[in-house]
Structure 1
């Protein structure tokens, strides 16, 4: 229940319903008709995503993570059912959507048996009519038995949550600078060997099973990365 409330709180923040600070716990209990304990656990999830600042004696304030002339990627925002990594309202152009069997290298990278079937999704993603990233993602069919074309063209994470009731429990993320391969350059219409920021992510659900692996190359201009760190010793 508290995860569902957390998802609603994130949506309310993103939609501008809460612009400066969250309502009080009592007000949120009334709004969502849940207990104080549920509200506190939901707020803590949202706080872990870096969307809130805790001010002792005053409550929770909405964190502004926007920078002038920058597009901010929130790398803290994957502790709930779905991934809020990218900006909202991205438009996808699907280049490849098929089922493959993992070879030795890919299976080792994913930590799954060789020849296990998986969905492969390769898509270009656009924001404000400008190329944002190239994304290659793999979903083991042992975890995601069916993935719809509609989901691949919109939000894969929303589909997985709605269809299977699972989502990200934890993630391993690796940021690096990458030189575009000939294939990547061709797909994006950019120069072979040009240097861009890449993110390799392995996402796991609650029993530590692999949910997906993705390789994303960001090409949108003026990107900024946001991390949220909590000093637990001071809480």
Structure 2
């Protein structure tokens, strides 16, 4: 809260879903989806590299102006979508050369990558995102309900 979030769009295009993307979005491989690649900034510092894939049957239109801002705000206000929950898979590892270049870091630096599948309140997945965070500019809060595995 109270932070300035900005984006630089690196790619916005319609592509055919690969097997992995299709599996995560609950669609057939080859179906046309939106691909968005952008660098997100927090208070002027690089926060993360984001690659997102949106089901066009649910998100029928995206343009550069929309993806430079908050995509979810657009989905909720303009498209009246009810965003429900997400499944997150976290991986810690060393940055690839490409990720490091976009994050302004060095290949092999530590990185936290979170793969997330976002669902509408009716359970339909609409967004599969792979986000790699800059280890010096990010922090996370995880709330728990007291149940432990």
TM range (shorter): 0.7 to 0.9
The 4+ residue runs of structure 1 with deviation greater than 3 A are none
Separation (CA, whole Å) in 2 of partners of 1:105 and 1:148: 24
* SS of equivalent to 1:223: coil
TM-superposed CA distance for 1:226, in Å, is: 1.1
Q: TM-score, normalised by structure 2?
A: 0.88
1:169 pairs with one of 75, 84, 106: 84
Larger gyration radius, structure 1 or structure 2: 1
1:189 pairs with one of 86, 104, 121: 104
CA RMSD of aligned residues (A): 2.0
Partner of 1:140: 55
Q: Any unmatched runs of 5+ in structure 1?
A: 1-13, 15-86
Partner of 2:24: 109
Q: Which has the higher contact order (CA 8 A, sep 6+)?
A: 2
TM-superposed CA distance for 1:188, in Å, is: 2.6
What is the CA deviation profile of residues 30-78 of structure 1, one whole-angstrom value per residue up to 9, with x for unaligned ones? xxxxxxxxxxxxxxxxxxxxxxxxxxxxxxxxxxxxxxxxxxxxxxxxx
Separation (CA, whole Å) in 2 of partners of 1:144 and 1:170: 17
Q: Any unmatched runs of 5+ in structure 2?
A: none
Kindly indicate whether the alpha-carbon contact (under 8 Å) linking 1:199 and 1:216 is maintained by their aligned counterparts in 2. Answer: yes
Q: How many residues align?
A: 147
Change (3 A) 1:115 1:148: same
Q: TM-score, normalised by structure 1?
A: 0.57
Structure with greater strand share of residues: 2
Partner of 1:153: 68
Partner of 2:132: 217
